[in-house]
Amino acid sequence: MGRFWSLLFLTVPILGVLTFVCAIGNIWPLNGGTLAFPADQWLPDDVSENGGVIDNLFMFILYLTGVIFIGTSIALFLFMWKFDAEKNAEPVKFTHGSHTLEIVWSILPAAALLFIAIYQMNAWVDAKMKRPTEMIGRSEVPKRPLVEVTGRQFEWRLRYAGADGQIGTPDDLHAVNDLHIPVNQEVVITLKSQDVLHSFFLPNLRVKQDAVPGMKQFVWFQANEVGAFDIVCAELCGWGHYKMRGRLTVESQEDFDKWFAEQMSEQERTEFTPSSGDDDE
């Protein structure tokens, strides 16, 4: 066997480097099996206002952890190679700790984490803390949600504010798994869960937020391209987790208004009355 194990471990950094090269150069097999060089396929298409910042953060952390991972793998290989048992008959001497080393390998990761924590602060504030505002009369208030999204096993229940702009009133529009939003506008949604933990994930908008039973949260985003995109549940929530998907349709304000009016008249036609039980707070 001899140096078999050290060579086996050497394949880890080699595969790591190959993965990086394929990802950055967009080379097969990471671009869906073709050898062409189309637009970057490493991440799903980004159609959002804020996504670029999040992608940059993602890539930064990927490079940082990638370099460290490959470095430690190479160090592991070198030590295994050099101190192979068959070539070194002398038994190993154990020593007890090095203060300097302990301090160094505690401070370095702590400093790296602290740097990332500060570096990502603006992205966090934009995505999670600074809810968009609107003017009502002469006062600037947090923007009202367009729709309330409630995760439940195993679907996304949607409730749009009707003409009064309020969610939870009799003129609401109800839908399941079919979210429509206007393009080029900041959209605020209310996110809830009816049963267990779910995670509301819009891959193309770089939005992911846990839906927690008993909590009401606000999520906001702006889509800059029209089209149909996925809504996915990103939290294993039960046997039907895999089928908990919906469709996000981004469309012009005109199309959105048309769709809304159609759905509304359809809802009135079928004399749908919201149940007073499970949906209410």
Interface residue list for Cu ion (CB under 5 A)? 198, 233, 237, 244
- Compare residues 47 and 179 and give the one whose CB is closer to Cu ion: 179
User: Minimum distance from CB of 203 to Cu ion (Å)?
Assistant: 15
User: Minimum distance from CB of 276 to Cu ion (Å)?
Assistant: 25
- Compare residues 80 and 234 and give the one whose CB is closer to Cu ion: 234
User: Minimum distance from CB of 275 to Cu ion (Å)?
Assistant: 21
Q: What is the 3-state secondary structure (H, E, C) of 4-45?
A: HHHHHHHHHHHHHHHHHHHHHHCCCCCCCCCCCCCCCCCCCC
User: Minimum distance from CB of 241 to Cu ion (Å)?
Assistant: 5
User: Minimum distance from CB of 211 to Cu ion (Å)?
Assistant: 8
- Measure the CA–CA gap between 12 and 250, rounded to whole angstroms: 42
- Compare residues 154 and 229 and give the one whose CB is closer to Cu ion: 154
Tell me which DSSP letter residue 200 carries. E
Match 């869906």 to its residue by tokens.
32
- Compare residues 183 and 232 and give the one whose CB is closer to Cu ion: 232
Burial state string for 54-87 with b = 16 or more CB within 10 A and e = fewer than 16? bbebeeeeeeeebeeebeebbeebeebeeeeeee
Tell me the longest C-alpha to C-alpha distance in the chain: 88
User: Minimum distance from CB of 128 to Cu ion (Å)?
Assistant: 20
Distances (CA, A) of 97 to 64, 101, 102, 136, 160: 27, 8, 8, 65, 62
Match 């009799």 to its residue by tokens.
170
201 and 219 in contact (C-beta within 8 Å)?
A: no
- Compare residues 76 and 196 and give the one whose CB is closer to Cu ion: 196
- Compare residues 77 and 229 and give the one whose CB is closer to Cu ion: 229
